[in-house]
């Protein structure tokens, strides 16, 4: 735990998550918001971050590029969009800065770029910063190992109507956890859509179903269906602050870590097995 507060920048400060992150940093003693960035042209540019968070004035105005505030922060928390995150990573490389990435929806090529940046930059990257989902991932690995190939695995998720990527990063992380435990490659066994005469279910497949509706913060269920019984592991997020608090915890933890790629299991000290 650092003695002096960690100076944190929020990238995407005006977004749904950015506003929660501003509030989550304000809750803790060992970190402070020292910079806030959002896209050029946003109404929040040049405005005190308290207008975004609804909290007390911070004296920190939102700017439209990270380069202009690079000397103001140690660690940046980024919940934006894949292209924005990758451009930021390029700016950070070699600067000694750290980054907590919450953005989801990276394609395989973009993920390669992100992993390459971890060679010289300390990065926490998690599809879901809630403690409940981090524990759920560990339970899923255990369940899949114990149940084996005799149980069909289907993953369903629901999110608000603004979400732009599907299936969610969390659903994919859950799919990877189960596939790895069953010695399957998710890229080969995932079924992302079914329509028409699909034929019988391939027993080695892992199916995904997606709902986008209203203001649902995030719900995920992994179903293991066998003969005569079903096991469901479900997580429901009621409030985005759960992700924001987890990301701030990750940022404080990261402040004492060397370059490398970390996730919430490292932050929370949970064994992956």
In angstroms, give the least distance from the CB of 69 to ligand NAD: 11
Q: Which of residues 40-79 bind ligand NAD (CB under 6 A)?
A: 42, 79
Q: Confirm if 85 and 114 have CB atoms less than 8 A apart.
A: yes
Phi first, then psi, for residue 245 (nearest 5°) are -65, -40
Phi first, then psi, for residue 70 (nearest 5°) are -55, -35
Does 166 interact with ligand NAD (rule: CB under 6 A)? no
236 is catalytic: no
Does 190 interact with ligand NAD (rule: CB under 6 A)? no
Q: Which of these segments, 34-42, 110-118, 171-179, 189-197, binds ligand NAD (CB under 6 A)?
A: 34-42
Does 156 interact with ligand NAD (rule: CB under 6 A)? no
Site size toward ligand NAD (CB under 6 A) is 24
159 is catalytic: yes
Complex with ligand NAD: residue 2 or 43, whichever CB lies closer: 43
Q: Which of 97, 159, 176, 220 is catalytic?
A: 159
Whose CB is nearest to ligand NAD? 15
- β-strand 260-262 against 230-237: which pairing, if any? unpaired
Complex with ligand NAD: residue 98 or 184, whichever CB lies closer: 98
* Among residues 6, 14, 33, 155, the one that binds ligand NAD under rule CB under 6 A: 14
* Among residues 49, 98, 102, 152, the one that binds ligand NAD under rule CB under 6 A: 102
* Among residues 23, 75, 80, 134, the one that binds ligand NAD under rule CB under 6 A: 80
**Alpha-carbon distances of 223 from 131, 136, 156, 185, rounded to whole Å:** 20, 13, 8, 18
Q: Which residue has the tokens 């004296």?
A: 59
Binding mask 231-260 toward ligand NAD (x if CB under 6 A, else -) reads ------------x-----------------
Q: Confirm if 33 and 49 have CB atoms less than 8 A apart.
A: yes
In angstroms, give the least distance from the CB of 183 to ligand NAD: 27
Q: Which of 32, 160, 163, 266 is catalytic?
A: 163
Complex with ligand NAD: residue 15 or 207, whichever CB lies closer: 15
In angstroms, give the least distance from the CB of 149 to ligand NAD: 30
Does 10 interact with ligand NAD (rule: CB under 6 A)? no
Q: Rule CB under 6 A: which residues touch ligand NAD?
A: 11-12, 14-18, 37-39, 42, 79-81, 84, 102-105, 126-129, 243
């Amino acid at each position: 735990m650092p003695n002096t507060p960690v100076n944190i920048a929020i990238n995407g400060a005006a977004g749904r998550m950015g506003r929660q992150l501003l509030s989550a940093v304000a809750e803790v003693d060992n970190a402070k918001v020292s910079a806030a960035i959002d896209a050029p042209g946003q109404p929040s540019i040049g405005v005190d971050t308290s207008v975004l968070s609804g909290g007390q004035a911070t004296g920190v105005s939102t700017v439209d590029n990270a380069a202009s505030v690079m000397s103001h922060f140690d660690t940046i928390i980024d919940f934006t969009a894949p292209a924005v995150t990758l451009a930021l990573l390029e700016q950070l490389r070699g600067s000694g800065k750290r980054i907590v990435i919450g953005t989801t929806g990276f394609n395989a090529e973009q993920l390669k770029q992100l992993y390459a940046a971890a060679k010289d930059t300390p990065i926490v990257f998690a599809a879901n910063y809630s403690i409940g989902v981090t524990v759920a991932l560990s339970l899923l690995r255990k369940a899949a190992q114990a149940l084996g190939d005799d149980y069909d695995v289907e993953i369903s998720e629901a999110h608000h109507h603004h979400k732009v990527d599907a299936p969610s990063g969390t659903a994919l992380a859950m799919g990877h956890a189960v596939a790895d435990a069953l010695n399957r490659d998710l890229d080969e066994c995932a079924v992302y859509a079914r329509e028409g005469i699909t034929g019988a279910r391939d027993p080695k497949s892992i199916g995904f179903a997606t709902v986008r509706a209203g203001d649902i913060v995030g719900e995920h269920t992994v179903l293991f269906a066998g003969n005569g019984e079903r096991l469901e592991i479900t997580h429901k997020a009621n409030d985005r602050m759960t992700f924001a608090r987890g990301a701030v915890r990750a940022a404080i933890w990261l402040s004492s870590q060397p370059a490398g790629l970390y996730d919430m299991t490292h932050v929370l000290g949970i064994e992956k097995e």
